[in-house]
């Protein structure tokens, strides 16, 4: 499963780091989570990162994967 997460720095003068956890679910059950960061987002810029987890579905299962960003934080770079 793959999620592309973007962080936009709306500041006009400061560079920031963004940290967060991505929780992956299938049919309402958590199948993985990853904590990561987007480092050094300059003023007025947007940066993205791909976050993934491995999940092998059972043959009888419907894949309806979702992702949720949890615990976001922003700190000065």
Whole-model pTM over 0.85: yes
* Residues 20-65: tens digit of each pLDDT: 999 999 988 999 999 999 999 999 999 999 999 998 878 888 888 8
Q: Which of 43, 37, 45 is nearest to 20 (CA)?
A: 37
In the sheet that holds 16-26, the strands lie side by side as: 29-41, 16-26, 66-76
Range of the structural domain that residue 22 is part of: 2-76
Handedness of CA 55, 33, 20, 42 (dihedral sign): negative
Q: How many structural domains compose the chain?
A: 1
């Amino acid at each position: 499963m793959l999620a592309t997460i973007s962080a936009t720095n709306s500041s006009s003068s400061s560079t920031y780091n963004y940290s967060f956890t991505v929780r992956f679910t299938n049919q309402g059950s958590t199948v993985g989570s990853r904590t990561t960061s987007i480092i050094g987002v300059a003023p007025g810029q947007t940066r993205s990162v791909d976050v993934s987890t491995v999940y092998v579905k059972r043959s009888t299962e419907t894949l309806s994967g979702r992702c949720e960003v949890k615990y976001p934080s922003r700190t000065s770079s």
